[in-house]
Amino acid sequence: MTIVAIVGAGITGLSAAQALLQCSEGIQVHIYEKSRGIGGRVATRRIEGCIVDHGAQNIKTTEPAFVNLLLEELDTADLVPIVAPVRLWRANGEILPPDPRHEAISKYAYRYGLTTLAKLLLARLPKEWIALHLETPVARLAEEGEEVVLKDGEGRELMRADFAVLTAPLPQAASLLAESALWMRGTQQTLDRVRALREVEYVPCLSVLLGYGPGLPEPPAYALLAEDRSETLLWLAFEHLKAPERAPHGESLLVAQWGPAMSRVCFEEAEAMVVGRTLNELKRLFGETYERPLWVQVKRWRYSQPRGMMPFEMINPPAVDSLIYVAGDGTRPEGGRIHQAYLSGLETAEAILARIGGHNVA
């Protein structure tokens, strides 16, 4: 029996678990997740009768393995195409026509929120071989002989495993490894891995969620993307267009995500300031009706998406022979995408299976 501990129940962690359990008998997987639910940055909130994705916004890819997963392997009952286009907007308020090249690739969401994807992935895992530990942060790891020991913040042992997979955003994985370096097989090699991980920057994102009563004009697009990436509001998505279930009849739901530069400057600002600035920008763009939402919430993503990447084999060098793998969207080209997280999970499972002699990931 091989025991694999996965730190993080986002798409990378769930994908790795699925690939390990599909491809080899005799593997037991434990997933440790610090928050109350699964999905990580694929995150959905229910607010005042609305359903809103406040992290990842939509699924858009032609990547064959992921398209096959989405359309053939997983239940498609709640999968909905987003038919309205994404359009660029300019600082002067001009909204450009949809770009046919971008619109040629279908965009998808789930009727009741993107976390459905995580739930569907979890539901596929065989119950007898998987244990999910929610609200259980892993604070330190140690390699002892042929085992990895996972510990909580009090230094208590959570479990012993044959391999561990870290799937937090790379800066957080770096901190966890740095914290653990003294207890690793090769402290210097571990610190080299930490240095490599820290080379990948993750940009912050302030995600402001706004609910509006009836009477707002028909939106010009599913979402508007700022042509100038230094604008305060980079992405404005009309969430109620994803599916009728997203908002009570006639109401509108807007996700206003700030660009990296302004998110960084204002990340620690009081909520009232972030909301005030968002409403001012919306008024400037769309007029006064957008100044008076029924409700507003702010979600702060300190590590939203990677800028750049560090290839899997650079942070998991085979020569180091570590029992601890680092995975996640920052290890993939064009990371910061749900499908890249999924592929990272497959890649990591493949590496572990190669070491224990399991079947290849299809």
Please report the DSSP string for 297-344 in residue order.
EEEEEEEEEEES---HHHHS-GGG--SEEE-SGGGSTT-SSHHHHHHH
Nearer to ligand FAD, 24 or 172 (CB): 172
Task: Give Dmax (Cα) for the chain.
Answer: 66
10 lies in the site for ligand FAD, by CB under 6 A: yes
325 lies in the site for ligand FAD, by CB under 6 A: no
Nearer to ligand FAD, 248 or 266 (CB): 266
Query: C-beta of 289: minimal distance to ligand FAD in Å?
Result: 25
Query: C-beta of 114: minimal distance to ligand FAD in Å?
Result: 8
Query: C-beta of 170: minimal distance to ligand FAD in Å?
Result: 9
Q: Which of 58, 115, 116, 322 binds ligand FAD (CB under 6 A)?
A: 58
Nearer to ligand FAD, 35 or 297 (CB): 35
168 lies in the site for ligand FAD, by CB under 6 A: yes
**252-258 and 130-133 as β-strands: parallel, antiparallel, unpaired?**
unpaired
Nearer to ligand FAD, 208 or 282 (CB): 208
Write down the number of H helices and E strands in the chain: 10, 18
Q: Are 206 and 28 in contact (CB under 8 A)?
A: no
Strands of the chain, DSSP E: 2-7, 27-32, 44-47, 50-53, 79-81, 86-89, 108-110, 130-133, 140-144, 147-151, 157-161, 163-166, 201-212, 223-226, 233-238, 252-258, 295-307, 324-326
CA distances from 218 to 10, 82, 310 (A): 34, 16, 42
305 lies in the site for ligand FAD, by CB under 6 A: yes
Q: Are 4 and 167 in contact (CB under 8 A)?
A: no
Closest CA to 307 of 263, 254, 351: 263
Query: C-beta of 34: minimal distance to ligand FAD in Å?
Result: 4
55: tokens are 């992290």
Query: C-beta of 237: minimal distance to ligand FAD in Å?
Result: 9
Q: Are 317 and 188 in contact (CB under 8 A)?
A: no
Residues 85-144 that bind ligand FAD (CB under 6 A): 137-138
259 lies in the site for ligand FAD, by CB under 6 A: no
Query: Residues 199-238: x/- map of binding to ligand FAD (CB under 6 A)?
Result: ------x-x-------------------------------
8 lies in the site for ligand FAD, by CB under 6 A: yes
336 lies in the site for ligand FAD, by CB under 6 A: yes
Q: Which residues bind ligand FAD (CB under 6 A)?
A: 7-13, 32-35, 40-42, 55-59, 137-138, 167-169, 172, 176, 205, 207, 257, 301, 304-305, 328-329, 336-338, 341
